Structure 1
Amino acid sequence: MKRLIYAIILILVILAAMLIAPQVVGDKGYVLISMGTTNIEMSVVSLCITLFVTCLVLWIVLRIIGRTLGLFKGSHAWFGGRARRKRERKFYRGLHAMAEGDLQGAKKALQETNDGDFDGVNFLAAAQVAQTLGEHDRVRWLLDKAADYDNAKVAATLTLARLDIQQGQQQAALDKLNQLDEKASRHPQVIRVKAQAMGELGQWQALQETLPQWRKPLKDDYVTWAQTVAKGKFAEIASKQGAHALQQHWQDLPRKLRNDDAYRAAYAQQLLEQGMHNEAELRLTEWQKKGPHPVLLPLMTQLSMPNPAKAIAALEQWIKQDDTNAQLYSALGQVAYNAGDDILAEKVLLKAVKLHENPEDLMILAQISERRHNDAQALSLYKRGAALEHQSQP
């Protein structure tokens, strides 16, 4: 509105100037235009007014033409917006149908979103539907389309890699993951799937060298993966070269790895699997001089030898320091039971189940009762153990 008022004022000022100026000067002047036999004569004021009116009419015509063209452009934008809103409705309908279990409905709705810009999420959702329907070729096609979007690339590549691993194509999975950029390659899930593929390919040495670089992204899972790598490496050596080669390999490892709890646990586990229980007992008690370790303590329950004196002495010492720890009583009971000492095993396991019941302890107590021909007590313990085990299952 202000602009219109300013324009009117400006026009009035210009007109006033053209009319008043000649009067002030006293010489109106004239202009003669000759075109062949036609002569046009007018005053300077008339010429200025004519030019001004012509420019004004031309401006009005141009504005009308611009508005007319804008109507057509607006119609195009309106139709485009309508199509976009339709695709959005189909996208949300597809997600709802997928959650409802209507897979065919979800597939049909999501197919109509291929031309929309959903940052690849529509292709990821459609791939999940196709996977459930068993349309494996379509799954890969949809995931390839999703991988074209930067924000969906990692998710699509991870899903493709997992599919490759399920189909026994670990190297193909590894190749796909290695093609991701540096930032994506540090994604924790990318690292986990890559480690899985390398492990199933038996690339233990390469995995062992790479794992320290993944410690920060893996966080608490690092110990689990380090133990998996070490176990795979140790198992490979033991199966091909024997137990003595395994011991030599352990001695040749860098001090840093020999002090790593994950590697210690894997080495002790492999010693137990090789039947070297005396060596395993020695290592487990030596590494826990400062007290029980959550990764190493459970391995002591696997010790099976006639006289596990070191293990029993260590466990009894820890129990004196913490006599309400059910896990310590349980470990001592299982070590004693494996050694054939039913009296000690029963004594400490009864204490363990009193503090905290678990199926393993109850089953061992049942077997001890069965050895003593106390069938009623054995049956009762078996039932309690089975019920507890059933409750713990997801």
Structure 2
Amino acid sequence: MRKGIALVIVLIAGLILGPLWAGNTGYVLISALGWTIELSLVAAIVLLLLAIIILRAVWRFVARIVRGTQWGMRWFGQRREAKAANAYQEGLNHLLSGDYRAASAAFNRTWQLRKQSSDALLACYAAQQHGDLKQAQDWLAKVDRADELELARTILSLRSAPELSGQHLTILNELVVKHPQHPELLRLALKALQRHHRWTQVIELLPNAQRLEALSATDLDGLTEQAYYEVFVEHGRSSSSALQQFWQNLTRDTRRQPAVRRAYVTALHLFNEYEAAGKVVARGLKRNELKLPNLIEANLLKPSTELRDYLQDALKKDGDNPFLLHALGQLAFQTGDYALAQRALRKAAELAPSSRVQLDLARTYEAQGDTAGAVNAYRQAWKKA
């Protein structure tokens, strides 16, 4: 305000002193209804400024009186609400078009006009979408609903500083219970629990994550396998019987999930329980719960009686199945039967050439001292990669 007054004073002084210094003040002639008024240019400008100031003061005085009446309050209220509605609609349009900065400004105008919590929440969302997390936090402070405030504040904190998620684990658990239908909260909770190795809690949230489609199918499958593997390993470190008991205590539907079964097989391999792992793999293949190409790629095939019997029986029915041949070749190589492994892998490479089968074939050539064969197989693997 002081700067504005000083600027006006300087301007008036310039208008007065400038013409006087130049020796030509100029004049303004006003003629109306037989009256003639002649003013200097400086005086005319000063009078115009004074008139503007007086008119603004009169307008504010009249407006204040009118607002005090019932009619005035209704008229100004409707006008204010109309402006708020227009700004609100403008903000929504900007949100739909992805212009979050403009949406934030529009919702800011809406809030100034009507002060509703929904406007503050939308302004908060728009601010965080265009990266202004400080402004988003300020908008949250204007929300008068404690539950929404805590939820939004936690989500913002986890987005802005995921490395500090350990500070929010307690409130996260409470919010997930209070808001079971909130997919973004669930996603952030899973990330935080995963970061801090709370695998049992991750497993508890997996069914809800699947129901809400909070994660893509690939991400959900990977997280399921990782979480169950970590829990299996924890039990396996106690004893092999503890690991087996935990597996048996899972529901049948859970045990039949491919990711859970793969996690159990991997944990059994870690503790050298190859026969038990072979049984789980063979039964999973028989029930079509596991896919042989995935097991081959993940190195989840280890020598065991039941798995070898399954592969041999399957090959009797389908001797030209490249995946069965590849699997048999992997098992034969691990037991030292390099000749059988080479035959099976060579036929698998002829039927369905791939970089993986060529790499496994190269290992059999190396084991037998056939350098030329190994180099050729590696070259083929490189071409298929």
Asked if TM exceeds 0.5, the reply is yes
Alignment correspondent of 1:273: 270
Amino acid at match of 1:236: E
Query: Aligned ranges for residues 249-264 of structure 1 at < 5 Å?
Result: 249-251=243-245, 254-257=248-251, 260-262=255-257, 263-264=260-261
> Is the CA contact 1:144–1:156 (under 8 Å) kept in the aligned structure 2?
no
Amino acid at match of 2:307: A
> Is the CA contact 2:87–2:109 (under 8 Å) kept in the aligned structure 1?
no
Alignment correspondent of 2:108: 114
Alignment correspondent of 2:357: 361
TM-superposed deviation, 1:70: 6.2
State the secondary structure of the residue aligned to 1:293.
coil
The one-character-per-residue Cα deviations of 1:289-331 (angstroms, maximum 9, x if unpaired) are: 84553168844763676x6454233123223445565443433
Q: Distance in 1 between matches of 2:279 and 2:326?
A: 20
237 and 81 in structure 1: CA distance in 2 versus 1, 3 angstrom threshold: same
TM-superposed deviation, 1:260: 1.6
Gapped runs of 5+ residues in structure 2? 1-68, 111-117
TM-superposed deviation, 1:213: 6.9
Alignment correspondent of 1:315: 311
Q: Distance in 2 between matches of 1:215 and 1:112?
A: 34
Alignment correspondent of 2:57: none
> Is the CA contact 1:271–1:280 (under 8 Å) kept in the aligned structure 2?
yes
Q: Distance in 1 between matches of 2:323 and 2:184?
A: 33
Query: Aligned ranges for residues 38-187 of structure 1 at < 5 Å?
Result: 73-74=74-75, 77-78=78-79, 80-82=81-83, 84-86=85-87, 88-89=89-90, 92-93=93-94, 96=97, 98=99, 106-107=100-101, 110-116=104-110, 120-130=121-131, 136-138=133-135, 140-141=137-138, 158=155, 160-161=157-158, 163=160, 166-176=162-172, 178-179=174-175, 182=178, 184-187=179-182
Amino acid at match of 1:275: N
How many residues align structurally?
300
203 and 118 in structure 1: CA distance in 2 versus 1, 3 angstrom threshold: same
378 and 265 in structure 1: CA distance in 2 versus 1, 3 angstrom threshold: closer
State the secondary structure of the residue aligned to 2:86.
helix
211 and 113 in structure 1: CA distance in 2 versus 1, 3 angstrom threshold: closer
Does residue 194 of structure 1 match 2:193? Answer: no
TM-superposed deviation, 1:233: 1.6
TM-superposed deviation, 1:127: 0.5
TM-superposed deviation, 1:234: 2.1
Q: Percent identical across equivalent pairs?
A: 20
TM-superposed deviation, 1:373: 2.0
Q: Distance in 2 between matches of 1:138 and 1:201?
A: 29
State the secondary structure of the residue aligned to 1:111.
helix
227 and 201 in structure 1: CA distance in 2 versus 1, 3 angstrom threshold: same
Q: Distance in 1 between matches of 2:95 and 2:375?
A: 59
Q: Distance in 2 between matches of 1:302 and 1:339?
A: 15
Does residue 382 of structure 1 match 2:381? Answer: yes
TM-superposed deviation, 1:273: 2.0
The one-character-per-residue Cα deviations of 1:19-78 (angstroms, maximum 9, x if unpaired) are: xxxxxxxxxxxxxxxxxxxxxxxxxxxxxxxxxxxxxxxxxxxxxxxxx98698456534
Q: Distance in 1 between matches of 2:159 and 2:370?
A: 52
> Is the CA contact 2:87–2:106 (under 8 Å) kept in the aligned structure 1?
no
Gapped runs of 5+ residues in structure 1? 1-67, 99-105, 387-394
The one-character-per-residue Cα deviations of 1:240-278 (angstroms, maximum 9, x if unpaired) are: x4xxx1333423665444772355433321121233334
TM-score (norm 1): 0.56
The one-character-per-residue Cα deviations of 1:92-129 (angstroms, maximum 9, x if unpaired) are: 4576464xxxxxxx536623422435584443232022
77 and 188 in structure 1: CA distance in 2 versus 1, 3 angstrom threshold: closer
Alignment correspondent of 1:391: none
Structure of greater Rg: 1
Q: Distance in 1 between matches of 2:167 and 2:244?
A: 29
Amino acid at match of 2:125: L
121 and 113 in structure 1: CA distance in 2 versus 1, 3 angstrom threshold: closer
> Is the CA contact 1:281–1:303 (under 8 Å) kept in the aligned structure 2?
no
163 and 91 in structure 1: CA distance in 2 versus 1, 3 angstrom threshold: same
Alignment correspondent of 2:240: 246
110 and 267 in structure 1: CA distance in 2 versus 1, 3 angstrom threshold: same
Q: Distance in 2 between matches of 1:319 and 1:298?
A: 18
Q: Distance in 2 between matches of 1:298 and 1:89?
A: 51
Alignment correspondent of 1:229: 227
TM-score (norm 2): 0.57
Calculate the aligned-residue CA RMSD, in Å.
Answer: 4.7
